[in-house]
Amino acid sequence: MIKIFKADESHVAGIAKVCTEGYWATYQELLTKERIQRIVEEFYNHERILQEVTHSDRNWGGYFVAVENNVVVGAGGGGGMIDETTGELYVLYVDPSRRNEGIGTMILDAITKQQKEEFNATEQWVSVAKGNMKGIPFYEARGFVFQHERASYGNAEGEDYVSLRYFRKL
């Protein structure tokens, strides 16, 4: 049985693994190896994730994990508020071999509940890389609607990757 938890120290290694593997599986055809390596090292290292599971506030709601037989099979995070009533979803990955079983929806629901109940969110935004067909159909199925394009966060000198901003009312 799959259960959803607010992540703690015991989930750090599992979050790092699922996000790293998910990131590679999602972006190997879209981004250069160098960019993937840079992002994975910056965001999904154990030290950073440990900080992010032990400190949460309005701007960063912590990580939520989907756990099956003590193994992290999905992780999502952020739950951060970007203004009074607007929540942002920062991260969402499911074990690449476990997609389309409903796990992503369970994690998104937990983050959404937190944003609504703890932070009074009435809308939710997410950025998806242009061309990410492992992510875009999921958000559209969950009621997110495309709003506009913008330069991807973390573009290095000379990189011009584009992200799509999606929005839904809660």
Residues that bind ligand COA (CB under 6 A): 22, 26, 92-94, 99-105, 128, 132, 134-135, 137-138, 141
Task: Considering the complex, state which of residue 81 and residue 111 has its C-beta at the smaller distance from ligand COA.
Answer: 111
Measured distance CA(103)–CA(2) in Å, rounded: 8
Hey, what long-range contacts does 49-55 have (CB within 8 A, 24 or more apart)? 49/12, 49/15, 49/16, 50/9, 50/12, 52/77, 53/7, 53/8, 53/9, 53/11, 53/12, 53/15, 54/8, 54/9
Task: Considering the complex, state which of residue 9 and residue 159 has its C-beta at the smaller distance from ligand COA.
Answer: 159
Q: State in angstroms the smallest separation of the CB of 99 from ligand COA.
A: 4
DSSP one-letter string for 8-48: -GGGHHHHHHHHHHHHHHHHTTTS-HHHHHHHHHHHSSHHH
Q: State in angstroms the smallest separation of the CB of 121 from ligand COA.
A: 18
Residue number, nearest CB to ligand COA: 104
Please say whether the beta carbons of 66 and 103 come within 8 A: yes
Please say whether the beta carbons of 118 and 57 come within 8 A: no
Q: State in angstroms the smallest separation of the CB of 95 from ligand COA.
A: 8
Q: State in angstroms the smallest separation of the CB of 29 from ligand COA.
A: 12
Task: Considering the complex, state which of residue 33 and residue 120 has its C-beta at the smaller distance from ligand COA.
Answer: 33
Q: State in angstroms the smallest separation of the CB of 5 from ligand COA.
A: 16
Task: Considering the complex, state which of residue 86 and residue 105 has its C-beta at the smaller distance from ligand COA.
Answer: 105
Task: Considering the complex, state which of residue 32 and residue 157 has its C-beta at the smaller distance from ligand COA.
Answer: 32
